[in-house]
Structure 1
């Protein structure tokens, strides 16, 4: 049997032993029977975080919305559901999520386990919406983590990197459904961020800046504004020196915008504006690599200026770079733990040999700002450095040992980056 690859095609999993349980009971039986396993969602990680040498368990069949609690304003879902599918159901019931990633095609459990995020000064990452989580642990038993039961352990478990067991069910906070509009501006000078970073990033509910680093400017500014009955959003032809776009645009220069969500200020439902890409268009596969670094927001301009200093080394290998902001949270292994953050995301051409040489240059430029790499993307930061960036790392190690005493869910990645053990 051919070994499977991830969504982008850059990573090949290390075993052909794949399991696709139909129920939680089947998950429990698998966990009880297997000596070692790792769980996979929609295969959107670019590194070995979800890999196993022995057994892979896919949650693709656990993809239902189980219940909506109107009193508590929560939704409970099976862990393998994709955000796009969940959003459609929520919209039918008059609800919304607080934020979405740029792609709606990723699984809820996978995104939460790796602290994946959207954008917005006031918006926490996607995992911050979790209120409770059911996990099948090493002996096949089910453990529930919730804010009510044990807030401390809950904060450690949500961004769990798959290390505590198989997440089978999540309960998320929801909010009333709403309309949004999306406006795009072109050619924002990098220098504008020196004095105006905060007003730029607080000018809409969600803000993204895109640059190809060909020069010291952002090709595009995407502003996603929340619409209410008593509020009209009025945006001018100019935004801090950038000019309003006259047609729908794709973030990557020269690519058609047909798979992007609608722009030009046209109102629409939140789920059709919050992501950059439409659910009914699967993004192209096998043509990109991704890296991302997250740091304290107050360092944003200095960090971007530091990147600009090496743009001639970056630009030849880059498809696009996106800058977003994230509100602080309480989740132990979230890069935004107790710090309002800025994220610098690189979408690379699919040429790992060249990208592998550029990443250390970027990491050196960002070293003064204590930048944390996204858990599921490509980086060359050392395990010791990563561990030093998370003050709750020792507590997280203890949590994994408590719920997985024999290391059933550990793999090379966790051994290396969490426990600093070389296999």
Structure 2
């Protein structure tokens, strides 16, 4: 590397573009793949035979992407260095029978996905994005990025207790967006989406659609030291890991002792149990096939996995100035303090002392500061793809990330320096 810090504030500028262009997991992996293509990677199909040639390759499956770079001369038992993340964010998802409404309002039937903060979806101008599945078995990405939907809040005159006793939302009754006036017509939404996508509605046989806030990401604060935007949990990590992998692949192969990997999964927010989730077979299958494509045996596979390390990168909690008592009294991660090491002795995070040493070494090599995060003992701890990856594949895993506020909101907040500090740490880690 030309300097200890490869990325700077321009990386954060690009992150905001990535967030705006990725309103669904399917868009996120398409945009990550486009960046890797520019760096010389090529897509390989899971149904095709793989070769063991050097270079960058990636596999797409739904809302997940696994990419890897094989240096010249890599042995079959060469270990992997994995930057793990997830592409999904808590939100609202369109139901199979989407057309509903009452009292002259046309509405869209949605289901709550993951642990989203419901109130953050109220009174926002929402677009609609995702993918549609066509009769011929192909998919088409859709992004209607304009004010189309809105979940209207009840006026305070009709809910006098909202500001005193707290807002109470029923996930079924109160979260259905409006999108027009008139009588409900079956098939209306999908006909509209098909027209926007430029296809015949009769060709649409399935859909994975979700509303998204159309307000673009932006710098915030007197000195623009903060960034506000949607889906930082966890596209911030997907973007950083993609940039880091592309940067490492551009170095001299002789300087890369490992096979660097990006693994960005879908469905982390609801348990990771899917064919595109971290609890599915995708990552293990890709790593094994990479070993065998280079002429390896099961013994080579075992040796490679034994030396492999994964940094599971996901957002964590910055100390909240209005609720500091909810945090551990001695662990207060701050914005722009550098990436965080996430620890939980009950293995809700996969970090142990050995993993801490790996992360500390990467940060030292990159010249970036880092912080420690642990939950208040009286508060339940969240989890990530980290423990799942460690348990499913038997590889050492370390949980890290960037400290943010408003986690699981429709619009989250982080320090403007932290995204590129994370990316620099990931470069140092992947490069070994």
The answer, yes or no, to whether TM exceeds 0.5 is no
Bin of the TM-score, shorter chain as denominator length = under 0.3
Structure with more contact order per residue of length (Cα contacts < 8 Å, sep ≥ 6): 2
Higher-helix-fraction structure: 2
Structure with greater Cα Rg? 2
